[in-house]
């Protein structure tokens, strides 16, 4: 599934990385605990989180995540946006809960 497909399924706002929406995602992992993400998430996954701090960007970079989806209407601050832009990351925003977001992605075929 492409990041553009994910954006469409969620009706999410693209905060940055619009030029990389053709990237592929193999799976999805959701957590607000970055230690769990590092321990259990697969490379090239989609990260779904409500945690808004620079550690999210650094964690996603280490696992070469396809994109980061911030849920519950969370918006990263300027420092996080700068860090993500420097690392060519795609960031999507949705007002949906983490549960709903993961359910929609699962229903669309992303495991």
**CATH architecture of the domain covering 3-107:** 3-Layer(aba) Sandwich (3.40)
- For residue 111, what pLDDT is reported? 83
Angle between helices 78-86 and 54-62 (to 10 degrees): 20
Q: What's the rounded mean pLDDT across residues 41-57?
A: 95
* The Cα angle at residue 105 between residues 91 and 53, in degrees rounded to 5: 30
Q: What's the rounded mean pLDDT across residues 67-75?
A: 97
- For residue 73, what pLDDT is reported? 97
Q: Which residues contact 98 (CB under 8 A, 6 or more apart)?
A: 30, 32, 48, 49, 50, 71, 72
In the sheet that holds 28-30, the strands lie side by side as: 13-16, 91-93, 67-70, 46-49, 28-30
Residue 6 has pLDDT above 90, yes or no: yes
- For residue 74, what pLDDT is reported? 96
- For residue 26, what pLDDT is reported? 87
The pLDDT-based confidence of 23 (bands split at 50, 70, 90) is very high
- For residue 25, what pLDDT is reported? 92
The full set of domain ranges for the chain reads 3-107
Report pTM: 0.95
């Amino acid at each position: 599934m492409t990041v553009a497909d994910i954006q469409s399924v969620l009706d999410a706002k693209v905060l940055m990385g619009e030029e990389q929406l053709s990237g592929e995602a193999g799976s999805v992992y959701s957590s607000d605990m970055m230690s769990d993400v590092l321990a259990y998430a697969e490379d090239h996954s989609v990260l779904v989180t409500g945690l808004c701090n620079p550690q999210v960007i650094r964690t996603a970079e280490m696992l070469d995540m396809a994109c980061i989806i911030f849920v519950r209407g969370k918006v990263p601050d300027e420092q996080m946006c700068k860090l993500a832009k420097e690392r060519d990351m795609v960031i999507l925003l949705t007002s949906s809960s983490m549960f709903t977001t993961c359910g929609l992605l699962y229903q669309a075929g992303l495991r």
